């Protein structure tokens, strides 16, 4: 059976834990090596990853490319503007063609249904590089970053401030898998979709939804935010107006535990969702988080190929 990674639950708790363990080991084994040198065992020697981008990307694009090089394989990019996908070739045909030409497909797109369709027709693993619904690859990197900074996941208190978006949905999914708790502070009307909240609660996580940024931040081990306007979203002015109270600033960080971490998947809009002093401050681990995309993506790829 082909292993697709459309969301964290496709792998499950044990496999995501194994991904993090493998990422820690591989990262440690190549300290100060040139970034493009393959790991000693080259586990994906000769493998090719097709990367489809229907939205912009820096980290996802670069981390998957470098991840494939470090695993001994290679990657290439298709964007909608310059491929036949952008001229109306179907997802089903694209999936079947790329399955004959590449060993796995990573896609960043808008509608989650599109990635599900791609996976239905592909005979090689399909990986979610972000949809409007979720961003599971990011969260593997985030979990890795928290663990590296000595935050054991079970029972952790995480505060999410701002928009109830795709990245939050994957944080909630992880909460259900690893039994940590999330307090989500959004303006009214910007809450996460019910299904992600209920799924996390079913998994044993405590999920609290509030409109108070202070209440969410109180006693938190980790504070996370993201852009107030995700790619493809309308109503930028209104979003920026209603999200003002959710900007992560020093006063909000002071509500959290003294050793709390600040995470942001990036790209950041410093001055909107986070102040410069928090973003550049000692509790911010955002560039560890960004680097960890490489290490996390390697273990996602290895899981897809049943090589963890």
Task: Check binding of 284 to ligand CP (CB under 6 A).
Answer: no
Of 156, 191, 195, the residue nearest 175 (C-alpha) = 156
Binding test (CB under 6 A) with ligand CP, winner from 2, 42, 45, 58: 58
Residue 51 CB neighbours (<10 A)? 23
**133 versus 181: smaller Cβ distance to ligand CP:** 133
Q: Which of residues 136-195 bind ligand CP (CB under 6 A)?
A: 138
Binding test (CB under 6 A) with ligand CP, winner from 60, 128, 169, 181: 60
Task: Check binding of 18 to ligand CP (CB under 6 A).
Answer: no
**157 versus 226: smaller Cβ distance to ligand NVA:** 226
- How far apart CA 185 and CA 247 sit, in angstroms, is 11
Q: Taking phi first (over 0 means left), then psi (-120 to 50 degrees means alpha), and beta for anything else, what does residue 14 get?
A: alpha
CA distances from 232 to 11, 55, 71, 172 (A): 28, 9, 33, 22
- How far apart CA 112 and CA 12 sit, in angstroms, is 19
**159 versus 265: smaller Cβ distance to ligand CP:** 265
Q: Under the rule (CB under 6 A), what is the footprint of ligand NVA?
A: 130, 165-167, 226-227, 230-231, 265
**44 versus 171: smaller Cβ distance to ligand NVA:** 171
CA dihedral 34, 61, 6, 265 (to 10 degrees): 90
Q: Sheet containing 222-225: which strands, arranged edge to edge?
A: 207-210, 181-185, 157-161, 222-225, 261-264
Task: Check binding of 299 to ligand CP (CB under 6 A).
Answer: no
Candidates 35-43, 154-162, 261-269, 294-302; binding stretch for ligand CP (CB under 6 A) = 261-269
Binding test (CB under 6 A) with ligand CP, winner from 207, 220, 265, 274: 265
Task: Check binding of 57 to ligand CP (CB under 6 A).
Answer: yes
* Residues in the chain, overall count: 308
Name the site residues for ligand CP (rule: CB under 6 A).
57-60, 130, 138, 265-267
């Amino acid at each position: 059976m082909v292993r697709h990674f459309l969301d964290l639950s496709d792998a499950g708790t044990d496999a995501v834990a194994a991904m993090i363990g493998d990422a820690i080991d591989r990262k440690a084994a190549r300290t100060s090596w040139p970034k493009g040198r393959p790991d000693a065992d080259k586990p994906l020697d000769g493998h090719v990853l097709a990367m489809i981008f229907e939205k912009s990307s820096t980290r996802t694009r670069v981390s998957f490319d470098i991840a494939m090089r470090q695993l001994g394989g290679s990657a290439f990019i298709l964007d909608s503007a310059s491929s036949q996908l952008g001229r109306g070739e179907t997802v089903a045909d694209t999936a079947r063609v790329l399955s004959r030409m590449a060993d796995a497909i990573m896609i960043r797109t808008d509608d989650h249904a599109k990635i599900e369709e791609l996976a239905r027709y592909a005979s090689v693993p399909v990986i979610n590089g972000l949809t409007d619904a979720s961003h599971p690859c990011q969260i593997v990197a985030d979990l890795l970053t928290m663990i590296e900074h000595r935050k054991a996941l079970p029972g952790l208190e995480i505060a999410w401030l701002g928009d109830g978006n795709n990245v939050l949905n994957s944080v909630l999914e992880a909460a259900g898998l690893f039994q940590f708790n999330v307090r989500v502070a959004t303006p009214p009307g910007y809450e996460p979709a019910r299904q992600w909240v209920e799924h996390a609660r079913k998994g044993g996580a405590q999920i609290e939804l509030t409109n108070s940024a202070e209440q969410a931040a109180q006693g938190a081990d980790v504070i996370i935010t993201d852009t107030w306007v995700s790619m493809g979203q309308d109503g930028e002015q209104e979003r920026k107006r209603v999200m003002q109270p959710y900007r992560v600033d020093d006063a909000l960080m002071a509500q959290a535990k003294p050793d709390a971490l600040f995470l942001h998947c990036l790209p950041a809009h410093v001055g909107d969702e986070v102040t410069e002093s928090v973003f550049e401050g000692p509790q911010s681990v955002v560039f560890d988080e960004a680097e960890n995309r490489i290490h996390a993506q390697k273990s996602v790829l290895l899981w897809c190929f049943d090589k963890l």
